[in-house]
Amino acid sequence: MAAHIKFETRHYPKLSTLEIHAGKLAERLSIQLSHAYEMLAFYYNCRNWTELKSCASQSIAKRKNNKGCGHCHRQASDIRELLAHDIQTGKLDVNSLNKITLQPDSIAFHLHNQNLNHLFDDEIFHIHSVIYEESKTPRNTPLSVVGTINNSISTLFNQATCFGGQWLYDYRYGTKMYCSTKLVGDKKTLIIREFDSLFYPPTQKQNLIYEYKKSFELMVNKAWFPKYVLSYLSWIIKNSVANTDIDSIAIYRICNIDLMTSRRSITAQRGIEHIAKGLINLGATPLQIYKSDTECFAFYFLITHD
């Protein structure tokens, strides 16, 4: 974080902001609103929606424990002011985004049009980190942000003919994916080696590795988790058909759990089984792949462009 930005303590978003976010999750992913509430509660490291509501607009210092959200809403507001100032004074040239197709309601779209209040706090933090690199002045152009963070799938995947492994973030839907593209002849495959969700339950601090594993397994077995994952992946497929030149999509692992039956965590078996069956119902073909004496297992989607 830039050294010239002074922060005091973390604050949660307003309740109205949280309710709008939950509503969008429920609508886009076709899940129950009560499930969206629980997902957001987990995202902000709360045990349930009731606890998150009691934290809304409060600082961590006012709470009885030190558990807090991922980023501070008040810090994000300060960074919005910094971005707006540098755009208005010409230090930050948003016109570089004219080189790409600006999809409505995408991060690039709102950044280009200086609608910074339409961007989520985590998006603001990520934009600041990539552009400023802990400097007082911009070190990179806004176009550099699109390579790792943008909620327009087509913009992400059309930026490069072929790219190596990198994490792609969509904070609005709590996802991060470790992706690469493979080009064989004129056929391009998008490889999602890891699909992770940020909507996992709160963890303790004694043994983080064990606690995160346990937390992921609890999340995978939540009633809403398979529907959430399948709806998001279905959205990616539809976007790929309509707006990209991707010919196939391969999905390897969900939350660090192998989709292959013999390699699944026993405690996460039920949730992953639902996802595996759901992927097949969406049209995926499960294939075993052997490379360098290492067995891999992926679900492949063939993309047909009209």
pLDDT of res. 66: 38
Q: Are 67 and 77 in contact (CB under 8 A)?
A: no
pLDDT at 89 over 80: yes
pLDDT of res. 32: 97
Could you tell me which residue, 67 or 267, shows the higher pLDDT?
A: 267
How high does pLDDT run on average in the chain?
79
What is the spatial distance between Cα 53 and Cα 47, in angstroms, rounded to a whole number?
11
Q: Are 3 and 137 in contact (CB under 8 A)?
A: no
Which H/E stretch holds residue 47?
none
Dig out the tokens for 85 from the structure.
Answer: 């100032």
DSSP assignment letter at 13: P
